[in-house]
């Protein structure tokens, strides 16, 4: 246990798996009271049980981030349980593989609803509660927001929006003591990666995993806990002078790519 977020109420979306789950667990170890939002109710509940079993404070809140009423209700229930939100992490997101010709209208709408509208809905719920008191927000973007990646048309579009929303909120609420930053991972080894390889490359999972790992100059994928540690720093008082920034966590993908 550490104390970077002692006595802080934190809300993490997409907290049932992957990066969001790692962030929720890390925040709890840092002393936060964590509200875990996820459309997968049992996954969020399991993560909350893990936190409480380790002596932390957490509660799951089933929530579809694409529905503003759901998000507002989840924030209200979390505030009743843990107090007004001090820290928000927008981690909920979905992926898509395809160029513009292989991106259907349904694909685009689905990614927009989760990755863009979902972030907007959580910001819309958190910012009024933070005004005057201050708070810290981290939005999980992607290196896809900054560089051209093959076959990521819709995903790149949404993560670019996440990044520009970050800058907008940071600028608009700097005098309300609200800090807003983004983290932009490259490939991170999550259950999504394993599922993608099993579905698209059956029998070649190990080969393709190694190939994807080598796209990072450092020679491996990131780990969810590494993204969680960076996110914790940005939400802590150690980062009190940081707002409106985007932090890549990418094994050199953006700056060292040859």
Q: What amino acid positions are annotated as catalytic residues?
A: 155
Distances (CA, A) of 141 to 163, 187, 230: 6, 12, 13
43: alpha, beta or left, given left = phi > 0 and alpha = psi -120 to 50? alpha
**Mean pLDDT over each residue of the chain, to the nearest integer:** 96
pLDDT score of 145 more than 80: yes
**Structural domain that includes position 24:** 9-186+222-239
- Rounded Cα distance between 197 and 193, Å, is 6
Residue 1 falls within a domain, yes or no? no
Looking at the chain, the whole-number percentage of residues with pLDDT higher than 70 is: 100
pLDDT digits (tens, 9 = 90+) for 210-219: 999 999 999 9
Residue 131 falls within a domain, yes or no? yes
Residue 244 falls within a domain, yes or no? no
Beta carbons of 93 and 14 less than 8 angstroms apart: yes
Q: What is the pLDDT of residue 15?
A: 98
55: alpha, beta or left, given left = phi > 0 and alpha = psi -120 to 50? left
Which residues are paired to 60 by β-bridges?
Answer: 36
Residue 156 falls within a domain, yes or no? yes
pLDDT category at 109 given cuts 50, 70, 90 is very high
pLDDT score of 258 more than 70: no
Residue 255 falls within a domain, yes or no? no
Locate the DSSP E strands across the chain: 9-13, 33-38, 57-62, 87-90, 135-140, 178-185, 246-249
pLDDT digits (tens, 9 = 90+) for 150-198: 999 999 999 999 999 999 999 999 999 999 999 999 999 998 899 889 9
Q: What is the pLDDT of residue 246?
A: 98
Question: H helices within 3-143, ranges in order?
Answer: 18-29, 41-53, 68-82, 105-111, 118-130
Output the domain CATH number for residue 173: 3.40.50.720
Q: What is the CA radius of gyration of the chain?
A: 17
Q: What is the pLDDT of residue 2?
A: 86
Residue 216 falls within a domain, yes or no? no
Residue 249 falls within a domain, yes or no? no
pLDDT score of 65 more than 60: yes
Residue 97 falls within a domain, yes or no? yes
- pLDDT mean over 19-27: 98
How many domains, the chain? Answer: 1
Spatial CA neighbour of 222 closest among 197, 255, 189, 183: 189
Q: What is the dihedral of CA 244, 250, 251, 255, to 10 degrees?
A: -60
- pLDDT mean over 28-32: 98
- Rounded Cα distance between 9 and 235, Å, is 11
- pLDDT mean over 107-135: 98
Specify the higher pLDDT residue, 200 or 242.
242
């Amino acid at each position: 246990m550490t104390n970077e977020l002692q006595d802080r109420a934190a809300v993490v979306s997409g907290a049932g798996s992957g990066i969001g789950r790692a962030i929720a667990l890390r925040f709890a170890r840092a002393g936060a009271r964590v509200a875990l939002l996820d459309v997968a109710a049992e996954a969020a509940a399991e993560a909350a049980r893990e936190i409480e079993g380790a002596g932390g404070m957490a509660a799951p809140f089933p929530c579809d981030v694409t529905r503003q009423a759901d998000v507002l209700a989840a924030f209200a229930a979390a505030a009743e349980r843990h107090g007004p939100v001090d820290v928000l992490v927008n981690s909920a997101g979905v992926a898509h593989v395809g160029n513009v010709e292989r991106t259907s209208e349904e694909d685009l709408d689905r990614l927009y609803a989760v990755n863009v509208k979902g972030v907007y809905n959580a910001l819309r719920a958190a910012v009024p509660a933070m005004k005057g008191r201050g708070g810290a927000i981290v939005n999980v973007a992607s290196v896809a927001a900054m560089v051209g990646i093959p076959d990521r048309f819709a995903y790149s579009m949404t993560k670019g929006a996440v990044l520009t929303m970050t800058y907008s909120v940071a600028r608009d609420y700097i005098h309300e003591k609200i800090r807003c930053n983004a983290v932009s991972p490259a490939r991170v080894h999550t259950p999504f990666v394993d599922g993608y390889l099993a579905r698209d490359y059956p029998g070649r999972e190990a080969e393709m995993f190694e190939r994807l790992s080598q796209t990072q100059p450092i020679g491996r994928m990131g780990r969810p806990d590494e993204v969680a540690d960076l996110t914790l720093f940005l939400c802590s008082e150690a980062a009190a002078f940081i707002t409106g920034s985007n932090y890549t966590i990418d094994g050199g993908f953006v700056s060292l790519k040859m």
